[in-house]
Amino acid sequence: MELTRIGEVRRLLAAYGLRPRKSRGQNFLVAAGVLDKILEAAEIRAGDLVVEIGPGLGALTRRLVEDGARVVAVELDAGLLLVLRDVLSDYADRVRLIQADALEVDYDALLKTVVGRQSPEVGPAEGMRDVPFKVVANLPYYITSPFIAGFLEAGYGFERMVLMVQRETAERMVAEPGTKAYGALTVLVCYHTRAEVFWRVSRHCFYPPPAVDSAIIRLFKREQPAVSVLRPDLYFRIVRAAFGQRRKMLPNALDHCIPGLDRKAWTRLIRDVGLDPQARGETLTPEEFGIIADACAQMGFDPPAVV
Ligand code: SAM
């Protein structure tokens, strides 16, 4: 069964009484060459542990398993899970299907159960942060940013993420300061990972075709954050506030984003660290945000002050 042929996708959906649901971002990959590119980016080795989000009809899942991976696949749609159980029945020992909203899963807990069961040498009590895994997915576009942000903020110990995302979102993740695409997502992704756009993908590689083009992005988890800051919570609070009102000058955008720091205090602080208080957040590098955040931390804004 060739799962990336448009005729086969249509036939399978019809056989199970299903239609692609736009509200769930169901655009199935119908280009075998693009699947090859995802696998190339993921560099799967025998025994790799892979989390796949939104397996759909199982085209990518099957290729991951055939390349030797153990896959934990999280799919929201109950109808598609019925298809997946049949399509992947020959690989039941290496695929774990979970019906859940990918935004609500505790991946440490989930992987602990899988590893605990399948690899006796790694006991469940050891915790997942030491067990490397990859995330490989053709993501439903409506969850892309919250999924990536939530996953990074949770601090999971992944080795890399290989994700098909909307092209504009991919560009936001690798954007340079001072560009329109540069924003809070860029800074977050840069803090935790080294990001690269691996391959550009036309909308016509999907059935049904979405309204936008896509890209495969690779995010390699950094061993240490890109920017060393005293208080990451302060750092990201400042970054979010700066981009929340990106057209405003920094002191205005940051006004009261930290209790006790008004516009005047921000102007002074930004000037004291050698930066321009008239600048807008979108022109600051991740390191310059770090300088501002550390100055704040050194002024004694302790955790309870930050809500
Ligand atoms: N992997 C398949 C492929 O490449 O053809 C399907 C990809 S399709 C773009 C996105 C998939 O994510 C669909 O199967 C959809 O049902 C599933 N999905 C949508 N929202 C989800 C969510 N919140 N959590 C998990 N899966 C979700």
What residue ranges line ligand 1, CB within 6 angstroms? Answer: 24-29, 53-56, 59-60, 74-77, 80, 101-103, 138, 140, 143
Ligand 1: residue whose CA is nearest its atom 20? 24
Distance, CA 162 to ligand 1 centroid (Å)?
15
Burial class of residue 8 (count of CB atoms within 10 Å of its CB; 0-12, 13-18, 19+): middle
The fold for domain 232-298 equals: Helicase, Ruva Protein; domain 3 (1.10.8)
Q: pLDDT tens, 189-227? A: 999 999 999 999 999 999 999 999 999 999 999 999 999
User: Closest ligand 1 atom, CA of 24?
Assistant: 19
- Which pLDDT belongs to residue 307? 43
| For the CA of 77, the nearest atom of ligand 1 | 16
CA of 95 relative to ligand 1 center, distance in Å: 16
Res 299: pLDDT: 87
Per-residue model confidence (pLDDT) at position 132: 85
pLDDT score for 29: 97
Q: Which two tokens stand for residue 15?
A: 């056989």
CA distance 171 to 150: 19
pLDDT of residue 126: 44
Residues composing the chain? 307
Pair type for strands 49-53 and 133-138: parallel
**Best substitution site from 1, 16, 35, 77 to test ligand 1's pocket, by max atoms within 8 Å of Cβ?**
77
Structure confidence by residue, pLDDT tens digits, 136-180: 999 999 999 999 999 999 999 999 999 999 999 999 999 999 999
Give the Å distance between the CA of 199 and the centre of ligand 1. 20
Closest CA to 84 of 65, 48, 104, 59: 59
Q: What is the pLDDT of residue 302?
A: 57
What was the pLDDT predicted at 131?
A: 66
CATH class of 6-221: alpha beta
**Hey, where are the domains in the chain?**
6-221, 232-298
Task: For ligand 1, pick from 138, 142, 216 the residue to mutate: most ligand atoms within 8 Å of CB.
Answer: 138
How many beta carbons lie within 10 A of that of residue 285, not counting itself? 15
Q: Please identify, by atom number, the ligand 1 atom nearest to the C-alpha of residue 164.
A: 9
Q: In angstroms, rounded to a whole number, what is the distance separating the alpha carbons of residues 121 and 290?
A: 41
For residue 146, count other CB atoms closer than 10 A to its CB. 11
Residue 120: per-residue pLDDT: 43
Query: In the structure encoding, which two tokens stand for residue 120, read together?
Result: 């006796």
Q: How far from the centroid of its chain's Cα atoms is residue 173's Cα?
A: 10
Q: Whose CA is nearest to atom 22 of ligand 1?
A: 101
pLDDT of residue 128: 47
Per-residue model confidence (pLDDT) at position 113: 85
What residues in the chain have per-residue pLDDT under 50?
119-128, 303, 305-307
- How close is the Cα of 80 to the center of ligand 1, in Å? 9
